[in-house]
């Protein structure tokens, strides 16, 4: 292996560890790993980048999920209702891409996310306390509505879905940031594992990159989940704001380069 390759792999692994950390705290790891793969390995196709990122991130998300389940527990009703609705809506969102050009939708989305970021920044108590607003059947309906909206976004645009899911759990359902992240992780695992099956079949994963990324992502996820549970909702809120800024930058870049 040449010195240049060592540097490339070193940067890739460092980025994967950082992605695992922020993804475990509040989601958004793909906002780091995907651009990094494109920059460091421009010879890869779009599908190879997404598949390789997904392989590495699924392992990290599993680590974070296990930590959250063991320490905090999760709401099974919230997870299945949101997850099923998100899966169905995401499928529909992929077809909606043909009806509404991204160059029209993305600027509108950018404005919405900027508003969310400003709102989250100035509302200091947002997600500071875990006070669920819904129980029983009302929780199921609220979860289905949340999953439908975010699932459509995932199918139509994609990046930052996990982070926006955390915001929805906090702002709509009244969960604390820490509990929101824990529940969102489980939903992410199910969705990512389902998509990973397709990448296995198509043989799109570049394992010489995916395997070292996976190890580093798992290490970052372990550290991130531990930090989130140790520092609590306030820490998760700060990381959430940072990831929103990453998402804003990503969307702005997409719009400018279109």
Where exactly are the structural domains of the chain?
3-257
Residues 74-87: b if buried by 16+ CB within 10 A, e if exposed: bbeebbbbbbbbbb
> In the prediction, which pLDDT does 61 show?
86
Q: Determine the average pLDDT of the residues in 71-95.
A: 81
Q: Averaging pLDDT over each range in 126-140, 148-162, 215-229, which range is the top one? A: 215-229
Q: Determine the average pLDDT of the residues in 164-189.
A: 85
Higher-pLDDT residue of 112 and 167 is: 167
Calculate ∠ Cα 148-154-156, nearest 5°. 100
Q: Looking at the predicted structure, is the pLDDT value of residue 212 above 90?
A: yes
pLDDT tens-digit series, residues 218-250:
999 999 989 888 887 778 888 888 888 887 887
> In the prediction, which pLDDT does 7 show?
85
> In the prediction, which pLDDT does 237 show?
81
> In the prediction, which pLDDT does 207 show?
93
Confidence of residue 8 (pLDDT cuts 50, 70, 90): confident
Q: Looking at the predicted structure, is the pLDDT value of residue 209 above 80?
A: yes
| Torsion sign across C-alpha atoms 146, 17, 247, 72 | positive
Summary mean pLDDT of the chain: 82
CA trace torsion 43, 109, 122, 149 (10° rounding) = -100
Q: Looking at the predicted structure, is the pLDDT value of residue 6 above 90?
A: no
| Torsion sign across C-alpha atoms 47, 53, 56, 57 | negative
- List the structure tokens of 44: 């890869």
């Amino acid at each position: 292996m040449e010195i240049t390759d060592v540097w490339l792999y070193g940067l890739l692994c460092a980025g994967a560890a950082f992605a695992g950390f922020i993804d475990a705290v509040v989601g958004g790891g793909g906002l780091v790993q995907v651009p990094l793969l494109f920059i460091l390995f421009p010879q890869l196709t779009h599908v190879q980048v997404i598949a390789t990122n997904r392989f590495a991130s699924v392992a990290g998300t599993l680590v974070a999920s296990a930590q959250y389940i063991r320490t905090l527990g999760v709401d099974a009703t919230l997870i299945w209702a949101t997850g099923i609705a998100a899966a169905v809506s995401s499928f529909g969102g992929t077809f909606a891409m043909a009806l509404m050009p991204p160059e029209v939708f993305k600027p509108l989305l950018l404005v919405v996310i900027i508003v969310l970021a400003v709102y989250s920044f100035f509302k200091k108590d947002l997600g500071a306390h875990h006070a669920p607003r819904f129980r029983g059947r009302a929780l199921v309906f609220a979860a289905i509505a949340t999953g439908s909206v975010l699932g459509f976004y995932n199918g139509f645009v994609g990046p930052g879905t996990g982070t926006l899911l955390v915001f929805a759990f906090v702002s709509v359902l009244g969960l604390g940031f820490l509990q929101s992240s824990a529940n969102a992780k489980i939903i992410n695992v199910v969705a990512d594992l389902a998509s990973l099956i397709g990448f296995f079949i198509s043989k799109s994963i570049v394992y010489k990159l995916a395997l070292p990324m996976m190890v580093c992502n798992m290490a970052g996820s372990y550290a991130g989940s531990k930090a989130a549970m140790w520092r609590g909702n306030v820490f998760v809120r700060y990381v959430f704001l940072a990831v929103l800024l990453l998402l804003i930058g990503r969307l702005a870049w997409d719009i400018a380069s279109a």
